[in-house]
């Protein structure tokens, strides 16, 4: 589903998936403040990407990843996503697009995220990414 097509969840539902919906919408808007507002003050983000694993706790450390991974990327967009919720845990699969910093070539990343949500805030966030595909122009 694209961000434009997604209208089924509202903040009033109180469901964990509504919190993750707020997260993905804020991220797609490249709104750091709104994205960070979806996290609890003591939230933990475990990141597993090519080249290393990371562990961030709290808004300042989480912002240190959100900015270079998402917010600051030229042309960043959430192209499509889907969510599944079960017993307070939300799985999010998404396809992200942006332009390469060096030559402007289109980039695509397929990511899997898992969230534990309590009281309307993300307590724990796991990210798994197998890499980024950079497309050459003219192909």
CATH number at residue 62: 3.10.450.50
Residue 7: the pLDDT is 45
Q: Quick one: average pLDDT of 124-134? A: 86
Q: Quick one: average pLDDT of 11-22? A: 82
Q: Tell me the CB-side half-sphere exposure of residue 87, using CA atoms within 13 A.
A: 0
Residue 39: other Cβ atoms inside 10 A: 24
Tell me, yes or no, whether 22 lies in a domain: yes
- What tokens does 132 get? 């980024």
* pLDDT at residue 106 tops 50: yes
Residue 51: the pLDDT is 77
Domain limits for position 126: 11-134
Q: Quick one: average pLDDT of 15-39? A: 97
Structural domains counted in the chain: 1
Tell me, yes or no, whether 74 lies in a domain: yes
Considering Cα of 21, then 96, then 72, then 63, what sign does the dihedral take? Answer: positive
Tell me, yes or no, whether 67 lies in a domain: yes
Tell me, yes or no, whether 3 lies in a domain: no
Tell me, yes or no, whether 6 lies in a domain: no
Q: Please list, in sequence order, all residues whose beta carbon lies within 8 angstroms of the beta carbon of residue 114, skipping any fewer than 6 positions away.
A: 89, 90, 91, 92, 125, 126
Higher-pLDDT residue of 5, 52: 52
Pair 100, 136: CB distance under 8 Å: no
* pTM, full prediction: 0.84
């Amino acid at each position: 589903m694209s961000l434009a097509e997604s209208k089924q969840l509202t903040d009033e539902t109180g469901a964990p998936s509504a919190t993750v919906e707020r997260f993905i919408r804020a991220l797609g808007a490249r709104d750091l403040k709104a994205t960070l507002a979806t996290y609890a003050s003591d939230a933990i983000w475990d990141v597993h990407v090519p080249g290393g694993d990371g562990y961030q706790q709290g808004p300042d450390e989480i912002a240190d990843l959100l900015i270079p991974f998402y917010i600051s990327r030229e042309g960043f967009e959430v192209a499509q996503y889907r969510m599944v919720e079960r017993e307070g845990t939300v799985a999010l699969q998404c396809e992200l697009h942006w332009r390469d910093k060096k030559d402007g070539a289109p980039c695509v990343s397929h990511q899997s995220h898992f969230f534990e949500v309590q009281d309307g805030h993300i307590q724990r966030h796991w990210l798994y990414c197998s890499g980024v595909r950079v497309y050459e122009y003219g192909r």
